[in-house]
Amino acid sequence: MKRRLQNCLALLSLIALVTMAILPAACGEPESVAMPSEERSDDDSVTRTGEQIFAMTCASCHGSEGEGADNWTVRGADGRLPPPPLNGDGHTWHHSDGVLYGIVSDGGLGLGFGSNMPAFKDQLTREQIIAVLEYVKSLWEGKQRDGIALLQYQQDSSAADPYPADE
């Protein structure tokens, strides 16, 4: 009887060990964890391209790290606003992708903004404009204002106003 009890306990222990070993392996990683890393690598290349274009076309006005001009909220003698910060310290994150695309494409005056922002639609392709905007949005990563995650706020507002379709 004692031996039978020992065999039974040994068998139960073995089953428990096998179950503990197999269960985590059977669960594996959820697909949603694996997929974003692949998507992120594509986004990273777009962001890197955008960073290069930003350095060549935008940094001279908006600063090398998107910090904007000093006193960017004060109109100059010409009545126009200086270049705002694009790093999350200004208001850029309030705008949807569609609005941001229009600002870069058509310039500040094209959309009624009182700024000297030039139009880039003749210098940059649609993909290049989007790459620049993706880089700018990467500057907001992890930033919050009044408890609002800037990047999430902007992504939510862009759901109804995305980048324009390829023409």
Q: Where are the domains of the chain?
A: 38-158
The pairing of strands 148-149 and 144-145 is: antiparallel
pLDDT of residue 42: 54
Interatomic CA distance for residues 64 and 28, integer angstroms? 43
CATH fold for domain 38-158 = Cytochrome Bc1 Complex; Chain D, domain 2 (1.10.760)
Write b or e for each residue in 138-151: b if 16 or more Cβ atoms lie within 10 A of its Cβ, otherwise e.
bbbeeeeeeeebbb
Sign of CA dihedral 13, 16, 20, 25: positive
Nearest 5°: CA angle at 84, between 79 and 85?
A: 165
- The residue written with tokens 């009182």 in the block is 114
* Inter-residue contact 127 to 47 (CB < 8 Å): no
pLDDT of residue 134: 95
Residue-level pLDDT, tens digit, the chain, 167 residues: 555 545 544 444 444 433 333 333 333 333 322 222 233 335 789 999 999 999 999 999 999 999 999 999 999 999 998 999 999 999 898 889 999 999 999 998 766 777 889 999 999 999 999 999 999 999 998 888 777 788 888 888 888 888 888 76
* Inter-residue contact 80 to 115 (CB < 8 Å): yes
pTM score > 0.75 for this model? no
H/E element holding 49?
helix 31-57
